[in-house]
């Protein structure tokens, strides 16, 4: 093991059948390979996000820098765009092009990736593919054009596990050209849901050499909404609010609801669904977005909750006052719209839905001997999955348990030990056998490419993967053979453990692009490939 990392582990022992599989001891936030500083001396305070409205042709200066922020009872070092966590929400009209003059004043190389935006390839922010990394003290100019309405976001594409986790993320709100695109509401509110790992009053240490926790990803122990542990919103009885929700966590999947309020699911990554539907909540994997409209019919205190099979987290509070609103949109809210414009747009693709898959991918893992030894010792060579409390569960048992999402870190010791030298997460082309960056797909503008993606439940550690395609958009056609009955344009979709998902990618944007798992630590552990559109 070249870069052995031990982070925040105190006397951890895993014993199976009387055999010690893993014994680890350490103190505090020790990292043997060298770590980023956590010092907050002299740092400016982070401020809350503000909206910046830009018009076609405008130029805006965006600077990433080091700040300090109070989270709970701790004051910690973080990173921010223009001093804000989240970064400024950039509001633009659909079709507009703006110039972002970016400067990196952080302690790590970085770029800006405009997630989900079908922009010109050279401004996609992928190091060694579309641009050189922006080193501390350097600058880069991005020209970003926004062809599609909806909510998008921007974040780094180098060491996301560190830089994004520490606060480098912000939204783009793209206003539709059609003023009736969305139903009328009283307000629009953007929410980033996130988590962060705090140990001994500091954010858990990051190695400068490489990511850690690459097996399951870095789960936080502190929940954040728009960077705050105590998010609060005030509303009036009868108010209808449209929430644009983005999951910026490294690995955590959120299951979000507002008990007592009536919720309607209206959109996702790339705009509207074909039909509006009532919803009790939404599941969002890292980088996915959901657009929901919520009616707060009566006064009271409402909780924004994240629910897992084992517990419920309160993420924030909406205090609804018994005050009269100027205009009521309750009638419009209670009408479920059928979006003929989206249905008509998708009609052009329906003839490709039933064709055989053009490409087939498998999501799996390759482990080094050190990692395999830890996971297979005393199991007779069977693939095993490490569960909470030091128990081992076979993959077949895990699938049969009916929970194909890892909602929490299920073995801290093994996850903390894992790094890219010990294991590689794999996207494999099932037809050629090629893996990750050896995959060499080529397409032409106008191609409608059907891709079948299987998340291997028999791998050494099966878990969910949010798969993101750069520069293009796609439709999720089916899951485990069941056709999707309400389509929406996506750029990221969650492939749960054991699932097979078919997507149809519209190749419209020429250039060399990346597709990858959006768990930040999995990306750092090689789970990515490139494709060309000519």
The correct CATH number of 352-533 out of 3.30.465.10, 3.10.105.10, 2.60.40.420, 2.30.30.40 is 2.60.40.420
Q: DSSP for 197-224?
A: -EETTEEPP-BSSS-S-TTT----SEEE
Cα three-residue angle 523-526-527, rounded to 5 degrees: 60
Decide: 292 and 361 in contact? Cβ < 8 Å: no
Strand-pair category, 448-455 with 359-367? parallel
Domain ranges of the chain: 51-175, 187-339, 352-533
Decide: 429 and 359 in contact? Cβ < 8 Å: yes
Q: What distances in angstroms separate CA 203 from CA 195, 273, 289, one per listed residue?
A: 11, 38, 26
- For the question of whether the overall pTM of this predicted structure is more than 0.85, the answer is yes
Q: What's the pLDDT score for residue 367?
A: 87
Decide: 291 and 191 in contact? Cβ < 8 Å: no
Fold match, 51-175 / 187-339: yes
Cβ neighbour number for residue 148 with a 10 Å cutoff: 18
Q: What distances in angstroms separate CA 279 from CA 144, 255, 329, 383, one per listed residue?
A: 34, 12, 18, 38
Residue tagged 């956590």 (tokens)? 38
Q: Report d(CA 62, CA 104) in Å as an integer.
A: 9
Q: Report d(CA 53, CA 67) in Å as an integer.
A: 24
On the CB side of 508, CA atoms within 13 Å amount to: 12
Ramachandran angles phi, psi of 206, nearest 5°? -115, 130
Report the Cα 191 to chain-centroid distance in Å: 13
Fold for 187-339, please state it. Answer: Immunoglobulin-like (2.60.40)
Of residues 289, 341, 342, 345, the one with CA closest to residue 151: 289
Decide: 459 and 395 in contact? Cβ < 8 Å: yes
Q: What's the pLDDT score for residue 384?
A: 40
Q: Is the dihedral of CA 386, 389, 392, 398 positive or negative?
A: negative
Q: Under CATH, to which class is 51-175 assigned?
A: mainly beta
Q: Report d(CA 141, CA 290) in Å as an integer.
A: 30
Cβ neighbour number for residue 468 with a 10 Å cutoff: 24
The structure tokens listed for 8 are 């925040």
Mean pLDDT by 10-residue block, N- to C-terminus, for the chain (534 residues)?
33 33 36 78 97 98 98 96 98 98 98 98 96 98 98 97 98 97 98 97 94 96 97 97 98 98 98 98 98 97 97 98 94 97 98 98 86 52 38 37 84 88 95 98 98 96 97 98 98 98 98 98 97 98
């Amino acid at each position: 093991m070249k870069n052995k990392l031990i982070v925040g582990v105190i006397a951890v022992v895993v014993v199976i059948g009387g055999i010690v599989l893993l014994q680890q001891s350490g103190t505090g936030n020790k990292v043997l390979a060298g770590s980023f500083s956590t010092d907050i001396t002299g740092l400016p305070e982070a401020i809350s996000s503000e909206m910046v409205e830009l018009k076609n042709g405008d130029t805006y200066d965006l600077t990433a820098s080091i700040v300090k922020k109070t989270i709970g009872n701790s004051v910690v070092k973080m990173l921010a765009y223009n001093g804000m966590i989240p970064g400024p929400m950039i509001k633009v009209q659909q079709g507009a092009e703006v110039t972002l003059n970016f400067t990196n004043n952080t302690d790590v190389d970085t770029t800006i990736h405009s997630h989900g935006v079908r922009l010109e390839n050279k401004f996609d922010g992928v190091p060694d593919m579309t641009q050189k990394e922006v080193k501390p003290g350097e600058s880069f100019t991005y020209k970003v054009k926004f062809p599609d309405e909806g909510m998008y976001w921007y974040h780094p594409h180098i060491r996301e596990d560190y830089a994004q986790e520490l606060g480098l993320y912000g939204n783009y709100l793209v206003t539709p050209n059609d003023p009736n695109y969305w139903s009328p509401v009283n307000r629009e509110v953007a929410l980033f849901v996130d988590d962060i790992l705090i140990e001994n009053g500091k954010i858990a240490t990051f190695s400068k050499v490489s990511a850690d926790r690459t097996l399951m990803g870095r789960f936080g122990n502190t929940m954040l909404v728009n960077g705050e542990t105590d998010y609060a919103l005030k509303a009036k009885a009868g108010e209808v609010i449209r929430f644009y929700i983005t999951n910026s966590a490294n690995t955590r999947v959120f299951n979000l609801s507002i008990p007592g309020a009536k919720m309607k699911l209206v959109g996702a990554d790339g705009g509207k669904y074909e039909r509006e539907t009532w919803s009790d909540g939404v599941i969002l994997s890292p980088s996915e977005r959901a657009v929901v409209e919520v009616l707060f019919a009566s006064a009271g205190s409402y909780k924004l909750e994240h629910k897992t099979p084992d517990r419920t987290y309160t993420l924030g509070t909406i205090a609804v006052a018994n005050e009269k609103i100027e205009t009521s949109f309750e009638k419009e809210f209670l009408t479920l719209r059928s979006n003929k414009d989206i249905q008509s747009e998708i009609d052009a693709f329906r003839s490709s839905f039933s064709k055989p898959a053009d490409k087939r991918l498998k999501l799996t893992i390759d482990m080094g001997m050190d990692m395999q030894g830890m996971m297979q010792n005393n199991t007779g060579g069977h693939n095993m999955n490490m569960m909470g409390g030091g128990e081992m569960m076979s993959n077949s048992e895990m699938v049969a348990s009916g929970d194909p999402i890892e909602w929490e870190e299920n073995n801290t010791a093994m996850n903390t030990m894992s790094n890219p030298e010990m294991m590689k997460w794999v996207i494999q082309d099932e037809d050629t056998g090629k893996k990750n960056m050896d995959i060499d797909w080529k397409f032409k503008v106008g191609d409608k490419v059907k891709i079948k993606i299987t998340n291997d439940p028999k791998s050494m550690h099966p878990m969910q993967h949010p798969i993101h395609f750069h520069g293009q958009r796609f439709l999720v056609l089916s899951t485990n053979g069941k056709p999707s009955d309400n389509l929406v344009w996506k750029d990221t979709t969650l492939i749960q453990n054991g699932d097979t998902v078919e997507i149809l990618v519209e190749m419209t944007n020429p250039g060399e692009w990346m597709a990858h798992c959006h768990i930040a630590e999995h990306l750092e552990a090689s789970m990515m490939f490139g494709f060309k559109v000519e």
